[in-house]
Every structure is written in C-alpha cells, then in structure tokens.
Structure 1
C-alpha cells in the first residue's frame, strides 16, 4: 500500500517494510498532517494476519527522520492546540508500540527529536555505522522538551541519569555511543541494515527493557532516595549554567521523574509541559534563531550572483587567528590551505594546533588515523609565494597595522592570479582603507572571524564600496563551507559586532571606576544571560587589544566610543589579561572554579570597591548601550536587517539566545520604554546615552523591528 509519504511493501518472507519518504524534501520531518497516513498504515498492518514483523526505514539516501517540522509549532495559537498535537502523537506512537507484531527501526542518517521518539516506540533499533548517523533529542535547544513520549520511553531504556544528560544538553550520539548507551541494539554497515533488522524480528515482541547500569549509578537508580539525589544534582547543574533564564530544563527533569510511574500519566504531564514551553517567550525566541539560520543557509549575500568555487587557499600569518582559519579551512571545508609566515616556527605552531585537535579525536575513536592524516595533508606551509598563482582566495591574518596590510595586498596582487580574492581578517580597520592600494579593489573583502576560530560560529563578511557582488557571494559560500554562519555587513569602523560590543564594554568600565566590584559586574551580566561577564571578556580578548580598537572607533564614530582614560594605567602596569597572566583576575591560582580577582588592580586604577547598584541596574546600563548602537547600525545600513543583527550578536558575542537577539529584545521592551530608559541615563551620566534617531522615531509611532 502507498500514501503520499509512506510505502508499505510485504516481502516473500511476510515481513512488511515501511519506507518514509516525504516528497519534495531532502530530509524527512514529522508533520501533524501525516496523522491520517499513519492511521492508514497501521490499519493495513492490522489487516494482514500473515505478517511476521515490521521494519520501519527511510527512503532518503542519508537521513532517517530529522525531527518534527518546527513550523507545526508556530501554527499553534494556544497551549491547548499544542497539547492536542502532543497527545495525538502519543496516541499514534502508542499504537505502533502496542502492535501485535515486532517492529524494528532501521536507521541511517540523522534520527533526531521526533524521529528518535518514533524509533523508541519500536521494539528494536538497528543503526548504520556511517558518520552521518546521529541520534538525539535536541528539543531543549529550541526551548522545549521532547513531546512525543521521549521523556518517558528514554529513561526506561537507558536509565534516569543518562537520559537526563541527553535531554538537558541536546547532545547527539554517534553510532558507537548509541549502542554502548543502549539507545540502539546493533550497529552495522548501511548495505546490510535491512537484512540485520529483519533478523531482530525473529526475537518477537520485546518485553520489559532494563537499562544497562553499573556501580553507583545502578545503586542510585534502584531507590527513590537515590533517584532524588540524581534529580537534585541535575537541577543544581542546570541552574548554575542557565541562571534560571531557560524554563525547559526544569520541566524536562519533572517529566523524567514521572517516568518511574505509569506511561499514560507520564505522557499527559509531558504534553502539559510541552504545551506550556511552546507558548513561552523563550522558546519563541530560540525558534526564531532556528528559522533565521535556516533562511541564511539559502542566501548568497549578493542576490542571484553565482559564487565561484574556492579550490585552493592561502592564509597569511600562522598566529592564533591564522592557525584557526587554516584549521576550519582544512577540517570543515576540506579545502587545501597553504600557511605563509615569516618564520618556520609560525607555520609549525599553526599546523601543530590542528594536529593536536585531530589526534584527540583519533584517541577518542571519533575519527580514524587515516582521516586525521588525510586532513593534515591539506595543510602545507611556505615562507614565500612560490606556486601562489593557483590560489583562489588569500585570507590575511597579520597584525592590525595598516601599512603591513597594505604590503600584504601588494604582495598578493604581485604573486597570485588575476582572479584571486584578498580577504582580510581585520577586527577594526575599515576595508576601504586596506583596499586603497589595490589594483583590483573589487576583489578585496573583509572576513572577520572571532576567537577561538574553531569554536565561534559567526563570521562577518565586510564589503567596501568597490567590492564586487561575485566576491561577496564567493566569500559567503566559502565561509559556510568552513562551518560558519556569515552575515554581510557594510564597511565601517568596528563593523557590526565590535561596534555594538564597544559601548557595552566601556559602560562596564565606567561602572568599575564608579566603585562596582569586578566580580559583581561580571556576575550581573552572566545572570542576565551572557556566557561571560565584560571584565572576564576583556581579560580573555586582551586589554591591549581593547586599547587599540577604542581610538579607531572614537576617531571614526565620535566621543561616545571614548574608553575611560584610567585604563591606560592598566597597560602601564603591564596588564594585558590572560595572554601575559596579568589582568583583572589572577591566572596563577590553582583553585578550581572561578578565578579570584587580582585585588591589586583596584590600586592601579585608584579606586576602592563600594558596590551600590543592583544586578539588574548594572545589566541594564551596559545592555541599553548595546541596543542603542545596534539600532544605529541598522539605521545606517551597516547590517541589512534586524534578523542579521540578532544572529550577529548571538553568534558573535553571546547575546542571550533566550531573548532572541538585540532587536527582538528591543521589540519586547518596546521602543518607548527603551527611549525612556536611555533618556533617564542621559540625564544622569551624559550624552553617551542619547537615544539614536531611529529609536526616537519608532517610539513616536510605536513601531517594531519585527512585524
């Protein structure tokens, strides 16, 4: 029998193979409208008394089921709509689980979210050993919880502690991990997946499952007192990381608690919590990020212009940034990269960092030695430009010195081909100034990575007024191959991310000089939702780096970017932060946990800590500076849209994801409210708080950035 998305074939051995293949999609996703189709499939199975078992698989070449269609949630208008959606799913999966026939899920490719919940409702799970196969319940990353029975079936299968770890982190399991944990029963090559799945049917219906537990974990999960210890520890860990800003983890723990009782009661609680979370502002914000990044994957940054392929690259500079750029080019993009440096030591250091990362994966059995060696073969080094004629893109990562960068432009144009793109990884110098000496300025572009390059997801693609559309499109596509989320921004001092970060950091510095304690400043912004506080960030980035950027921003954009003069005293005292082990915090401490404050820094700055403001007041003063500058950037066309501004702030500097980014947060506050806050601070602290024209106009007409 066949429906639009499901094909049921009964083989000569009287085994039914159900193949899911959603038409017109590269991946299968679960949708509410499939209910009738699934009902037809289940009725067909009931009607066949000759069947011995069922294998459920996918018709997609490299995907099982990637999860539920997120658009389905956006279409729900009330919590009752969401509750019904979850309960309808429960009903169908319960029927699948209670079939008189044994059912095996034959899984190749991503099996995530609702896809794994469907697989958990089957008796057995056989998975391919392909690196494309991953299993997980990542719903927490969207501010929700598994709503198709996952919170109830997974704990019964793998135990409480392991299921909490999977659901609270959203981590994805590789095939070996899935089998070891007990989520999957067997791992085989994809070529024999269906045959092996059929063999599992001979075992018949699966009886009661028992988690593979050992030692202390087994003892803890055997009693209610032990289980309570697990729940309390899980909640404590969650709260230390989320500061209570994300409601989903707590509700996941509550649902897992219910899994020790009867299934139906647990499913009802799951549906209740699921419906509440879907309607929450946090989930709405997190889902908006998902939709934004999905849209951006399809964009070139330059309309319909066709990007050119980048087959060979060169990185100028083997330092921290250059080594990181070379790493993502070889490891993620799988493109050959030649590292050019003035010394063998720089090249060796850059290659060594990639080797260490890959070798660690080998030792953890995530990749084979042959894969490591193949990736390393893409990295080569040179002290000159020999053979550079074939290079498609040069990425420059040398010191922030305009004369040096001018020399790099001239060298590349003299030694590389006429079509070579020159991408500069500058964090503050305007690209137009760097391109001023170029014979082919249309091929000069900014490509601003964030440190550490291997981990930070954002890259800013900066076009100056002469950059060609094809250069933009080619650079955007290449950045995506490197595993980055690129936003195209207009050329201006600080571009977008550093420009909105600078006034936020300066305000934290002003608060410090007013007597607020270092750890209180940092804790206030971490509690607000940032991954680290501004003072910690300054230590990590480098106090000397901040000192170099501030004058450039002030010269180009005005006095509101002036850094407190007292900070010159830090450099005079030799304080550069982590890089030289001397900054606001102590780096010589062996104590675990948070680093202690270096109390001597107060004396250097000539201040005595005398905290007087609340956490919320401190956070507000810093954050509104960032919001005001973000609105200015949109008004000036530095970013193309509020969406790009939100993604840039979240992925570039860790703006709290549960707020959806600065522009969604401004919509939540309301332009009138934000302008009133800024004007109040302007009257207290001066014109650096003056609201920009865009915000004042929006306040007057009660407008929003998103409609």
Structure 2
C-alpha cells in the first residue's frame, strides 16, 4: 500500500508532513491515506519528545480534494458496517493528531474542500495562501453527503450551531481565502508560499502548548448549546427554513446535517463523532448520494473532458448579433472571459441597452464586494455596442441571437458573411434545426449551434449542436469557446428542439395537461416541487411565456406535416390556446399568466384557473402526478438517445440537471431510469401503468424495452 504522507524532521524539531499521494493528481481520503495517517500519527506519538510542532501541507495543486468518490459511489446498505468503521478509524487518527500535545498547523497551499477542510480543522491553526483560485468549504451536501470525518462536529464547536449550519454546512458554500478568514475557519492569510511556511513556523514557536478550544477547561460553545435559551429559541426556525428550501423534495443530506449538528452539540465530543458517523453512513450507503455523485462528479467530468485540450486557435474576438435578453447576457459572459465583444443590434440604441445589462451586473458585483470598479470598467471596455454590421469585420466568432425565425436568421447570416467571411458562425437558437439554419450560409461545415441557458451568467451549461454538415474542426472550435467561457458543454446531434428544449417541453406539457384534467393548480405545483424540480411547472411556464411553446408547437406541426407525417395534438395545447386567446394571459412578461403578478413579482396562482379548467379532480394519486413529470422527460431522453440526438449517457444526465432543472437527486434523466425500483424492468412496468392511465406518450420506447429484457443499464 502506497505511503501518501512524506515526513521531514527539521533541525528546529518541527515535522513537515507533506500530503502527496503517488500517481494521483490530488490527495483523497481513501484507504491508503487512512493507513498512512495512522502510521504517521503512530510515529509522531513515538517521537513526541523530539518534536516541537507539526506542519501539514501538500505537494499537489490542491491541499486535499476530499473523499474518494470512486469508492463512495459503489457503497450499498450492505457496506454500512464497513463504511462506518472506516470513517471512525479516520476520525480517530485525526483526533490523535490534534491531541498530540504539540502545536499542529495546516499550511493550506491549495483548495481544501470536504475531507481536506476536515483534516485542516483537526489542526490547531490554519494558514491559507492568498490565492483567489483557492476554495475552502464543505461541498458534500451538493453530492448528497455530509462531512463525515469530524467536519460537522468541529465546525459546530468552533463557530456555534447557527453559524456553522448557515455559513458552511447546509448549502455547501465554497469560500475564497479572505471570506474563509472572515467566516472563522481560517486563522491567517499568507502572501506567498514562503510566507505560508514561515507563518506556520512562527505560530508553532509562539504556541508551544496549543490545544483545540473545545479541549480547554471552561470551554463554552459559541452561541450556546441547544439547551441554552437563546439558541433554543432559534432552533425551531431551522427545520422550517429547510422545508422552505427543499419544498418537500427528497434530499436527505441537509436534514442529516441539521440533525448531526444539533444532536452533536448536546453531547461530549466522542459521542458527537459517533452521531455524525451514523448520519454519514446512512447517506453514503443510500441511493440518492450515489445518483448525485455519478451525475455531478463523474458524468460532469466526462462532459467537461470533451472541451479539454485541442490545438485550435483561441477565440479572442466575438460578435453577438441581437442585443435582447439572451444576446446581451452572452456578450457579458464573453467579455468576462476576456474576449473583445461587438454587440450588434438593429440600432445603436438597442445595442447600448444590451450593454447596459452588463453594466448592471457589474455594478451589483462591485456593490457586493465581489469585484472592483477597475475590473468592472475593464470588462465594460471590452464591449462595443453598435448598430452597424461593418463593425463585425475581423471577429473570430459570431453568435447569432435574433428572433426565432429562419428567414430572419438567414438574412442576418448573409450580412455577416459580407463583412466577416472567415468567422465561425454559431446560432443560439433553442429549437430550430441547425441543418435548416445552415442553408443560409455559404460554408455550412463552419456553422454550429451554441445554445445558452438563461440566466446566462449563472447557468453552467452550453448545448453544442452539430448540424448534418458541421465539421469536426468546427465542433472543436465551438468546444474551445465553451471552455474559454468556463462552462460545461454537452454535444448533441441535430433535431428540432435538440435535446434540452425537446425534453423540457414534455415536462411543461405534462404539467399543463394536468390542468385540463381538472387537477387543482396548487396540487400540480406542489407535485413538481416535491418531485425535486427547482421551479414549479406552471411557474416555469409563465417564465418562458406561453406564446413561446405555442409558436414552437405550430412550427413543429407545420414541419411534421410538410415532411409527410401526422401531427398529434397534446392535451396541453388547448389550455395554452385558451389562456392566450380567451383570457389574454401570456405569462410573466405580459403581467398575467397561470399566476398573478404585482410590480413584476409573483402574487399567487390566478384564481380564474378553477373557473376555466375546473380543479375538482382530487382522485389522481399524488405519486402519479410526480412520476408523470419525471417519467415523461426520461422517456423522451431515451428516444433522443435512440435517434442519435444524444451522443452519450453522461451528456443526458448532466444536460438534464444543469440545463433544464431535472431534479439532481435522481442523478439525471437516464440515471433515474437505472435507479428506479426494479431497475429498467421496474421502470418499464411502471411506464406501462402510466400509459394505460394517462396516454400512449408513456409507452416505453423499444430501446428501453430491449435493454430491460437484456438486463442492461444506461452506462
């Protein structure tokens, strides 16, 4: 078994422990590390009389990456006892380190996330390199886990229950060094690596008898224990806050974190460690953590790796044509990434309004201390607002973001080619086939789709669409753009609606169809929230505007008929038509939709929905409502895979979570099928029940049935 910790005993008596897992790019908390840590602590205890202090640092770019997710993702309930024992052994080794009787300092030279921060908290003092790329935090909750190596216990004892939960544990915040210092888990910032080591040595010299605060006589927990009246008065609000945040969705990690923090704060340290261990084991061996780790770590890595590397010339200048909401936002993220941007609209005034969007975002960042006036001015200085197409001359890339009309887009492409004949042209269309749009350019092999998601500055995904004639070189250049924007790409082949728009359309249609069945709107919204969707389905429809799906439906119907097919209306169509034509309600942008709005803010569901569509159907099982939305998106995704629109399972899972809000607890649309009770055969059986009750759209596709019969999974 490889030794993952290097030992260097200096003349001053200080032992420098360097974390350096052989053959790995990052240090992880696995069996090899556990054995190395135990051996190292054995030696520290044996040689204690010759030791004046200990410094823990790293030979890697990161300080410590956390738990070994490759091991965690394979755990099952049958592994609970082994998993709990392993976590307890690690905790015991860290506890021995902090009770060594010598000062121990963590010299954090890179990001310390999860297990890395837990190891650092087992030291008496933490010095962090002043590098804005470094992140400090506990992201476990975002993967369905909790910090299981003493992280919950020590954070609560150092900061207090409320501070620990709100600033570190429940939301998985990642703090930069200065923020981590302000929030109390970092003690000192060092300007460079030499200063980092020097600060650690100086602290050891000044604190020869260092101990943890909670090991000192007279220690009192900051803010008090749960039996303290002031804290006891605050605690009932925490579960309520959690319920509001989760909206009934099946995310057990925040609940377990809250329980471990509160229960652990009422008992001695060793018992608190045991409580934390039980809650960790429940999560680590459960289904939801596996789903989230697979999608949000392994599948995400697979998707990101596609954009890595390549020898294409970087894009230094980009033109964005169309300065509406999407175009303005795309211009902002390009400028933020260091590109020179020409933002073109029909008029200079329209382009300036688009540039003002960037100014607004940057002003907010400055006001919140996340940026400086100098950085704001630099980014704004990269954006040229114009109404003159001649200003596009010489750009490397043009991203078209005009109205969803093929004729208009073709006219725009002709103008672009006149002034920027060598530019790569990409369309931000969300539904129109790239092959159809490429008919408007002279070099269709240099035409590609780059589908951004709103709000562009926050959404991490870009759907890269390859048309029938898009070349591999063009695809590579497009992926390079996504990489430069620090976003995650998925690559899909051409089809109307591609993957994301096509699949999310089935979700919104299903929710609206429930209205037509007389199901109360509030019940529909509650079902989608408790299924784990970040936005209730009718609220999402209002955000998209009701006219958009109708226009997409009309265009798709016309194209289907023109190709010799038959168009089959959906039950949602009549509801949307009535809302627009009879009720004059088009969504949030129109001031009225499924919801009422006051001053642009949602003010409750429109009471008229009951009059228009009933609302007395209380017989449909609530579980059916939830699963209809989850199943219909999964089924459509299987069709996309079968048709070759999707090119990988990882893209399906990542794209569904990051792009269209499929609940992350599922692991994504295809992992939801894998993990359904009974696997693929169980999913197929349930889909047939839903088809019998609600329509043939739930019939499992042949690919799914064949895979179920063969005992396969989506991998």
Q: Is TM (by shorter chain) over 0.5?
A: yes
1:277 matches 2:280: no
1:597 aligned residue: 605
Per-residue CA deviations over 1:44-96 (Å, capped at 9, x if unaligned) read 44426343222222223x42222222123235561122112201211210121
Match of 1:570 among 552, 558, 579: 579
What pairs with 1:332-347 in structure 2 (closer than 5 Å)? Answer: 333-347=337-351
1:94 matches 2:87: no
Per-residue CA deviations over 1:488-536 (Å, capped at 9, x if unaligned) read 1111011011111222222222210221122211111111111112111
Change (3 A) 1:100 1:608: closer
Tell me the secondary structure at the aligned position of residue 15 of structure 2.
strand
2:701 aligned residue: 692
- The question of whether the paired residues in 2 share the 8 Å contact of 1:447 and 1:460 is answered with yes
Distance 1:226 1:611 in 2: 44
* Offset of residue 128 of structure 1: 2.5
* Offset of residue 680 of structure 1: 4.0
Match of 1:365 among 344, 360, 369: 369
Distance 2:461 2:162 in 1: 33
* Offset of residue 678 of structure 1: 3.9
Distance 1:566 1:658 in 2: 31
2:149 aligned residue: 148
2:207 aligned residue: 203
* Offset of residue 219 of structure 1: 6.0
Match of 1:325 among 322, 330, 335: 330
Task: Structure 2: give runs of 5+ residues left out of the alignment.
Answer: 216-220, 561-565
Per-residue CA deviations over 1:231-255 (Å, capped at 9, x if unaligned) read 4322222223221501122221222
1:214 aligned residue: none
2:563 aligned residue: none
Distance 2:387 2:332 in 1: 19
Distance 2:200 2:436 in 1: 63
1:353 matches 2:357: yes
* Offset of residue 619 of structure 1: 2.1
1:53 matches 2:53: yes
Task: Structure 1: give runs of 5+ residues left out of the alignment.
Answer: 212-216
Tell me the secondary structure at the aligned position of residue 187 of structure 1.
strand
1:246 aligned residue: 251
Distance 2:479 2:258 in 1: 41
* Offset of residue 702 of structure 1: 4.5
Tell me the secondary structure at the aligned position of residue 445 of structure 1.
strand
Change (3 A) 1:662 1:222: closer
2:132 aligned residue: 131
- The question of whether the paired residues in 1 share the 8 Å contact of 2:550 and 2:573 is answered with no
Distance 1:363 1:109 in 2: 28
1:107 aligned residue: 108
Tell me the secondary structure at the aligned position of residue 442 of structure 2.
coil
* Offset of residue 704 of structure 1: 2.8
Distance 2:668 2:154 in 1: 35
What pairs with 1:509-520 in structure 2 (closer than 5 Å)? Answer: 509-520=512-523
1:406 aligned residue: 410
TM-score by length of 1: 0.92
1:637 matches 2:627: no
* Offset of residue 656 of structure 1: 1.2
Match of 2:430 among 407, 427, 430: 427
Change (3 A) 1:689 1:101: closer
- The question of whether the paired residues in 2 share the 8 Å contact of 1:313 and 1:392 is answered with yes
Distance 1:681 1:156 in 2: 50
Tell me the secondary structure at the aligned position of residue 436 of structure 1.
helix
Distance 1:144 1:685 in 2: 36
Change (3 A) 1:435 1:349: same
* Offset of residue 208 of structure 1: 5.0
Distance 2:187 2:69 in 1: 29
Match of 1:380 among 368, 380, 384: 384
* Offset of residue 397 of structure 1: 0.6
2:501 aligned residue: 498
Change (3 A) 1:561 1:337: farther
- The question of whether the paired residues in 2 share the 8 Å contact of 1:32 and 1:72 is answered with no
- The question of whether the paired residues in 2 share the 8 Å contact of 1:522 and 1:535 is answered with yes
TM-score by length of 2: 0.91
What pairs with 1:7-86 in structure 2 (closer than 5 Å)? Answer: 7-46=6-45, 47=47, 49-60=49-60, 62-74=61-73, 76=75, 78-86=79-87
2:218 aligned residue: none
Distance 1:387 1:142 in 2: 46
* Offset of residue 437 of structure 1: 2.3
Tell me the secondary structure at the aligned position of residue 84 of structure 1.
helix
- The question of whether the paired residues in 2 share the 8 Å contact of 1:502 and 1:550 is answered with no
* Offset of residue 685 of structure 1: 4.6
Match of 1:521 among 508, 524, 527: 524
- The question of whether the paired residues in 1 share the 8 Å contact of 2:223 and 2:231 is answered with no
* Offset of residue 608 of structure 1: 5.7
What pairs with 1:620-635 in structure 2 (closer than 5 Å)? Answer: 620-635=627-642
Distance 1:517 1:568 in 2: 19
Distance 1:334 1:642 in 2: 32
* Offset of residue 279 of structure 1: 0.8
Distance 2:310 2:129 in 1: 39
2:420 aligned residue: 416
Change (3 A) 1:511 1:386: same
Change (3 A) 1:469 1:81: same
Query: For structure 1, which segment, 683-692 or 291-300, has the greater mean C-alpha deviation from structure 2 after superposition?
Result: 683-692
Distance 1:334 1:80 in 2: 51
Query: For structure 1, which segment, 541-550 or 613-622, has the greater mean C-alpha deviation from structure 2 after superposition?
Result: 613-622
* Offset of residue 12 of structure 1: 4.3
Tell me the secondary structure at the aligned position of residue 596 of structure 1.
strand
- The question of whether the paired residues in 2 share the 8 Å contact of 1:585 and 1:595 is answered with yes
2:546 aligned residue: 543
- The question of whether the paired residues in 2 share the 8 Å contact of 1:587 and 1:595 is answered with yes
